[in-house]
Chain A
Amino acid sequence: MISDTAIQHLIDKLGKENVITAAEDLLVLGYDSTPGLHATPDLVVYPTNSEQVQSVMQVARDYKVPITPRGSGTGLSGGSIPVDGGIVICLSKMNKILEIDEENLTATCQAGVVTLDLFNAVAAKGLFYPPDPGSQKISTLGGNVMEDAGGLRGLKYGVTRDYVMALKCVLPDGSLLSTGGKSVKDVAGYAFKDLLVGSEGTLAIITEITVKLIPPPQDKRTFLAYFDDIRIAGEAVSKIIAAKIIPSTMEIMDKATINCVEDYVKIGLPREMAALLLIEVDGHPAMVTEEAEGVERILKEVGAAEVHIAKDAEEAASLAAARRTALSALARVSPTTLLEDATVPRSMLAETFALIERLTKKYALTVGTFGHAGDGNLHPTVLCDERDADEMKRAHAFYDELYEQVLAWGGTVSGEHGIGIAKKKYLARQIGPGGVAVMKRIKQAFDPEGILNPGKIFTDGQE
């Protein structure tokens, strides 16, 4: 529990309207998009500037209260859930874009800016911020940086990490840290910025972010390819990459996903097909033409059932938008959607699909698979009911077996959603006890009292 003096202190610094204690508010700020996870904080604060973030952190430090950062709560590993109660600090009201620097091609914004808002603001100036997680219309940049979010364009343009140039943050001891800058090169000391990206809110609270911008591609071509067998789709992805073509997007949806998405968007997706690939090549017009021909040829060679080309930018955008709804649309058919984030070397895609098919049968489950195929990043999603204990057990067994093989292939248990609470037990399996020990020493160095976002990444035994 938090003492009244601490609360009063917060009210003095942030104003009454930004310090929330009503039970109904607390209840709805203890979840994110991860199924089955919920915890209730004791208090929620909405800072509107860096100084206020610092004040809150100092209160947490002085009163030894756990403090958990939250963006928009779209995380898929439970990162923003206050497992030990305490303070939830919502950054969503820090949503100002501070600067778009057209000379240096950078944008600087507060941590609570919504990803799509930044994209639109820079696009209006003829610039391009590529990272586009499926949740872009509501996820915050702070959340993106902390999870190192990927997106539909990851294959060619990389993930959030590749665009972060500078961060301003508040450390658990209440001090400020500024790392990185607008210069494109910087080797002064340890690369804190790179350490902070993907740290899931366990090392510092980010208040300000400077990202790199690039000129948008001049031209693009969007394909929709249908397959009678999902393994052929996997093969197509591997072959396109082996042909040294790097499309900006190569997304996959299996039959279950196609049907759920079509139920929602109603744009005529092929319900009877085993899988589809959404492929986009972009860049200089001459290169687009050449790569488009290559993609088309390979699709024919491997035996795609049908290949369509989007007739205009609008159709291409509607296809990407449809793909972004995949996860939420899968949630139509069952009360619980358990989603995973397995990532394999791309040459193993066809085998991974075969494995998912086999395990689905073995554990008698309904699974919808979609994901960033071009990145080897798949989201096999078990459609289940959290009230059915046996089904949940089978679902977990499914993932255990899947991950064992994914790791054996040199893959990772999390391509982009982070470890959070949901994947703690797999971390040691992947990086070994030595790796975990170093990570913990880093955490210790930043947060000796363990007040910042406790209960994440490491299992209790590891802590």
Chain B
Amino acid sequence: MTDKKKLGNFTSENAPEYEDVLQCMRCGFCLPTCPTFSLTGRERSSPRGRVALARAVSEGKLEFTEAVKEEAFFCLDCRACTTACPSGVRAGEVMEICRSQAHQFFPLKHVSKSFREFVLQKMLPNPGLLETSMLPARLYQKLGIQWLVRHSQLLKLGPEWVDKAERMIPELHPPLRPQLADVIPAEGEQRGRVAFFLGCIMTLMYPEVSRQTVRVLTHQGFEVVTPKEQKCCGAPHLTEGDRDTTKLIAQHNLDLFMALDVDAIVTDCAGCGAALKEYEELLEEAGEHDKLATFRGKIKDVSEFLAEQGLRTEDLKPVEKIVTYHEPCHLCHAQGISKQPRELIKAIPGIVFREMEEASWCCGSAATFSLKYTTESQQILDRKLENVQATGAELLVTANPGCHLQLAWGLKQAGLKQEVVHITELLGMAVSG
């Protein structure tokens, strides 16, 4: 993305590339996969419509209006359209860039602006601060909750969302990051050495999940290095349209991890993985092409990594459970990782795996709150829960904290019995000891 020349009615800072919007041939293949189009039936809330709006702005046929801003933020950024598009158009990304434009065209009012800046520029880049901070700030994360936050501003909602959000939060354990040793040795015959990228939300809200991730990695013969100085992956900043802070954070993480002598950089958060894999494009202008390409090659989601290395199944205990799998958007659509988690699940002895309908359909993330989009948001989640229910599974496996939170909340609300587990928790059950 060049930030230089002015394109139509976009500002010159962080504007979409004209080529990227021209690429859409308007075939409509993406329409049936877009949750917001499915909800509203409105062309402008579809990937094809959103790209057309961006094209109109870049051709000077439309100002960057409130409605363009609204579409940029209404987009769930689930990237289902990227997977569906044979022409290689990335509508979700174009909208992400439009969010950055939206902040330039519609600067926030003082209070919300300083709150947003505080969270994005002070808290998230600084894990220590984040870990000792108050809950609302912890929430402001790559959870999908930001979807709500965007709407709370857009829809001029009061702060009651924080309240409801708090009720969604699982029981909190102490953050994991300070507890993890810098280097944890491999068990059995060592197969390699990996760095662990521990996402903010994982350390804060799902420390026990990430503990299992590390346990499974070491059990599988990998030495795990967790550098304490790592910062947030930058996804919340990018999603919010703060590209400048994202670049600073990205550079820091890049330098930090590239100084380590590791075979791979593993994460158990699909959102982080997707963001890390995009550093190459984000930092393109800095010119460190080889370094960026090597970094990109080392980033692995934990499922991707384990499937690639091959699971050592000799001493896995049977797990007698019926399970189904929900694909996080940031894993299947943003990273194209779809087969691997299923392979791992099926490799665990005792498991009965039942595929659900529409496994890769967005779970609606934070859209459960009964605020403005009550019906629409509930519909996204209901559709998912119905599909889960139809499988008769006991465990619902997923691989991203945003989905985890959303699904657990949804199941509880609906009085359903299924338990949500991260894929490494499931693997953890099979690891003896």
**Chain A contact residues, CB within 8 Å of chain B:** 22-25, 27-29, 31-33, 35, 46, 72-74, 92-93, 114, 135, 137-139, 261, 263-264, 325, 327-329, 331-332, 335, 337
Contact = CB atoms under 8 A, between A and B. Distances in A.
A91 to B, nearest CB: 11
Nearest to B85: A328
A237 B29 CA distance: 29
A32 B26 CA distance: 7
29 contacts: A24-B44, A24-B71, A27-B44, A27-B56, A28-B43, A28-B48, A28-B49, A28-B52, A31-B26, A35-B25, A73-B28, A73-B43, A74-B28, A93-B41, A135-B29, A137-B32, A138-B29, A138-B31, A139-B28, A264-B88, A327-B27, A328-B25, A328-B27, A328-B87, A331-B23, A331-B25, A331-B87, A335-B19, A335-B23
A73 to B, nearest CB: 6
Nearest to B50: A28
B53 A28 contact: yes
A33 B31 CA distance: 13
A23 B86 CA distance: 29
A27 B86 contact: no
A74 B44 contact: no
B318 to A, nearest CB: 29
Most buried by B among A27, A29, A32, A335: A27
B53 A24 contact: yes
B347 interface: no
A23 B23 contact: no
A28 to B, nearest CB: 4
A421 B22 CA distance: 21
Contacts of A332: 23, 86-88
A31 B52 contact: yes
B292 to A, nearest CB: 22
Given A24-B62, A33-B26, 16 more contacts: A23-B67, A24-B53, A27-B56, A28-B43, A32-B26, A33-B25, A74-B27, A135-B29, A137-B29, A138-B28, A138-B29, A325-B29, A328-B25, A328-B27, A331-B25, A331-B27
B68 interface: yes
Contacts of A31: 26, 52
A139 B53 CA distance: 22
Interface in B17-65: 19, 22-29, 31-32, 41-44, 48-49, 52-53, 56, 61-62, 65
Most buried by B among A27, A73, A328: A328
Interface string B198-236: 000000000000000000000000000000000000000
Nearest to B27: A328
A137 B41 CA distance: 15
A332 B87 CA distance: 4
Contacts of B87: 328-329, 331-332
Interface in B337-385: none
By secondary structure, the A interface counts as loop
A330 B23 CA distance: 11
A148 B65 CA distance: 39
Contact of A27 (B24, B26, B42, B53): B53
B73 to A, nearest CB: 14
A408 to B, nearest CB: 31
B333 to A, nearest CB: 14
A264 B87 CA distance: 8
A264 B84 CA distance: 10
Closest 9 CB pairs of A and B: A328-B86, A331-B25, A325-B86, A331-B87, A24-B67, A28-B49, A329-B86, A335-B22, A328-B27
B28 A135 contact: yes
B42 A25 contact: yes
Query: Which range holds the interface residue count of chain B?
Result: 20 to 34
A33 B62 contact: no
Most buried by B among A28, A35, A137: A28
Interface of B: 19, 22-29, 31-32, 41-44, 48-49, 52-53, 56, 61-62, 65, 67-68, 71, 85-88
B42 to A, nearest CB: 7
Nearest to B29: A328
A138 B29 CA distance: 7
B423 to A, nearest CB: 24
A335 B44 CA distance: 21
B95 to A, nearest CB: 14
Contacts of B22: 335
Most buried by A among B19, B27, B62: B27
Contact of A29 (B43, B62, B85, B88): B43
A93 B71 CA distance: 21
Given A28-B43, A331-B23, A264 B86 contact: yes
B26 A73 contact: yes
B98 to A, nearest CB: 13
Contacts of B71: 24
B265 to A, nearest CB: 24
A23 to B, nearest CB: 7
A25 B65 CA distance: 12
Nearest to A266: B336
A74 B53 CA distance: 18
A29 B46 CA distance: 12
Nearest to A20: B42
B132 to A, nearest CB: 44
Contacts of B48: 28
B43 A33 contact: no
A72 B19 contact: no
A154 to B, nearest CB: 19
A74 B46 CA distance: 14
Contact of A337 (B25, B53, B68): B25
B304 to A, nearest CB: 16
A322 to B, nearest CB: 9
Contacts of A92: 41
Contacts of B25: 33, 35, 327-328, 331, 337
B86 A25 contact: no
Nearest to B46: A28
B53 A138 contact: no
A40 to B, nearest CB: 9
A337 B86 CA distance: 13
Contacts of B23: 331-332, 335
A92 B37 CA distance: 12
B28 A27 contact: no
A72 B52 contact: no
Contacts of B28: 33, 72-74, 135, 138-139
A135 B25 CA distance: 13
A24 B65 contact: yes
A19 to B, nearest CB: 13
Nearest to A31: B26
Given A28-B53, A137-B32, A46 B27 contact: no
A25 B88 contact: no
A114 B19 CA distance: 31
B40 to A, nearest CB: 10
A72 B29 CA distance: 10
Contacts of B41: 46, 92-93
A28 B62 CA distance: 11
A135 B27 contact: yes
Contacts of A264: 86, 88
Most buried by A among B29, B65, B71: B29
A293 B85 CA distance: 37
Contacts of A72: 28, 31
A81 B420 CA distance: 48
A289 to B, nearest CB: 32
B44 A25 contact: yes
A24 B68 contact: yes
Contacts of A22: 67
Contacts of A27: 44, 52-53, 56, 61-62
B334 to A, nearest CB: 16
Contacts of B24: 331
Contacts of A35: 25
